[in-house]
Structure 1
Amino acid sequence: MKLLEGGRTGQIWRNGDTVVRPAGAWTPTVHRFLRHLGSRGFRGAPEPIEISGEGQDVVSYVAGRVCENLGDPSVGSERMLMSAARLLRDFHSASEGFLESDGEAQTWMLPPREPREIICHGDFAPYNVPAADNEAIGIIDFDTAHPAPRLWDLAYAVYRWAPLSDPVHPGVAFGLDEQLRRAEIFCTAYGATAEERRDLPEMICRRLQALVDFMLASAAAGDETFAEDVDAGDARLYLNDISYIGKHRDRLLGALC
């Protein structure tokens, strides 16, 4: 087996055409959801294979290059940006109907958000979107999937893909002007409505605050992964970005609307 890089270092492995990773209480629900996506013709997600007796989540391997650095010409290209937005839209369309058709008790890692329009991915960021030939071709890591409004997912995606993060942070590839341009391109390729565009800045801040609250609560409850993230300053970074987005809210609205 080959160790895969990314979150939960040392716990995610590729075994041939499969990926083996730790299962959680939410994994049976996620497997049913992945089957639903397949039944709706969405081919960009892993296929669920089994939850092993050793507590391992086994899914099919989604081929493609994953890279978090938007400064990489291929990952940060306009072509990749637009294809990622279209992929998110197609995923949202395929996710429709699961809440109504799934007949079993559902468990999610993240709390559902009202209105429960669709199943959101919850972490639609470059590091979870495999690409080929500068185009997004798949989505991986569905641990954070949960019921919520479409805008909840779109908000976090725009935050990550623009990215709407203060350029003073290490690794932020673009300044404000380019961030605003990329945010508008993503919304247009996704097909965001005028109402969604108007609500986007506030929703991004709500989404980031919810992430911070979840991280801090999980760390306090003894989750080592989230404790490490908090110690590394991730929660503080998100809070700084909430302030950054608030500071430039009017310019963001002007770019989007």
Structure 2
Amino acid sequence: MELLEGGRTGRIWRDGDTVVRPSGEWTPTAHRFLRHLRSKGFLAAPEPFQITSEGEEIVSYVAGRVCEDLGDPLAGSERMLVSAAGLLRAFHTASQGFLESDSEAQTWMLPPQEPREIVCHGDYAPYNVATAGPEAVGIIDFDTAHPASRLWDLAYAVYRWAPLSDPANPSVAFGLDDQLRRAEIFCATYGATVEERRRLPEMICRRLQALVDFMLARAAAGDQTFADDVAEGDVRLYLSDIDYIRQHRDPVLKALC
């Protein structure tokens, strides 16, 4: 088996055409959701196979290159941005109907948000998107899937793909002007309405604050993964980005609307 990088280090393996990952109490619901996506013709997500007695899930391997660094010429290209927005829209369309049709008790890692329009991916970022050349072709890691509005998921996606993060951070590849241009391209390709665009800056801040609250609660409850993330400064980064977005709210709205 081949150890895959990213995510939970040392705990995700590729075995031929399958991936073996740690499961959680939400995994049965996630597997039913993945089967729903396939029933709707959306084949860009893993196919679920099994949850083992050893506490692991087995899903199909989604072929493609994953790149978190938007400074990479392919990952940061406009063509990649457009294809990522289109893929998110297609995923949201396929997601419709699961909440109403699933007859079993549903358990999610992240708390559901109102209104419960669809099942969101919850972490639609470059590191969870498989690419082929300059295009996004697949979505991985559905641990964070949870019911919410389309806008809730779109907000986090724009935050990650623009990205709307302080350019003073050395890991941020684009300045404000390029971030605004990329945010508008993503929204236009996705098909965001004028009302969704108007609400987007505050929704991003709400989404990030919810993430911070969840991380701190999990760390306080003894979850070592989230405790490590907090110790490494992830919470400080998200809070800083909330301030950055609110500071530039007017330019963001002007670019989007």
Which secondary structure does the structure 2 equivalent of 1:130 belong to? strand
- Post-superposition offset of 1:168: 1.0
Q: What CA deviation, in whole Å up to 9, does each residue of 1:171-218 have, x standing for no partner?
A: 100000000000000000000000000000000000000000000000
Kindly indicate whether residue 130 of structure 2 is the aligned counterpart of residue 125 of structure 1.
Answer: no
1:9 alignment counterpart: 9
Matches of 2:9 and 2:170, distance apart in 1 = 21
Listed as ranges, the matches of 1:43-192 within 5 Å are 43-192=43-192
- Post-superposition offset of 1:170: 2.0
Matches of 1:242 and 1:55, distance apart in 2 = 36
Matches of 1:60 and 1:235, distance apart in 2 = 32
Aligned AA for 1:134?
P
Give TM-score scaled by structure 2 length: 1.00
Q: What CA deviation, in whole Å up to 9, does each residue of 1:93-139 have, x standing for no partner?
A: 00000001000000000000000000000000000000002100000
1:234 alignment counterpart: 234
1:34 alignment counterpart: 34
Matches of 1:198 and 1:204, distance apart in 2 = 11
Matches of 2:137 and 2:96, distance apart in 1 = 20
Ranges in structure 2 where 5+ consecutive residues have no aligned partner? none
Matches of 1:18 and 1:52, distance apart in 2 = 14
Q: Aligned pairs, how many?
A: 257
Matches of 1:223 and 1:141, distance apart in 2 = 19
Aligned AA for 1:256?
L
Which secondary structure does the structure 2 equivalent of 1:20 belong to? strand
Identity of aligned residues (%): 78
Matches of 1:171 and 1:105, distance apart in 2 = 41
Matches of 1:137 and 1:214, distance apart in 2 = 29
Aligned AA for 1:7?
G
Matches of 1:192 and 1:73, distance apart in 2 = 26
Kindly indicate whether residue 210 of structure 2 is the aligned counterpart of residue 210 of structure 1.
Answer: yes
Matches of 1:120 and 1:69, distance apart in 2 = 23
Aligned AA for 2:250?
D
Which secondary structure does the structure 1 equivalent of 2:138 belong to? coil
Matches of 1:213 and 1:203, distance apart in 2 = 15
Which secondary structure does the structure 2 equivalent of 1:137 belong to? strand
Matches of 1:167 and 1:124, distance apart in 2 = 21
- The root-mean-square deviation of aligned C-alpha atoms, in Å, is 0.4
Which secondary structure does the structure 1 equivalent of 2:21 belong to? strand
Q: Following superposition, which runs of at least 4 residues in structure 1 exceed 4 angstroms of deviation?
A: none
- Post-superposition offset of 1:53: 1.1
Matches of 1:200 and 1:243, distance apart in 2 = 15
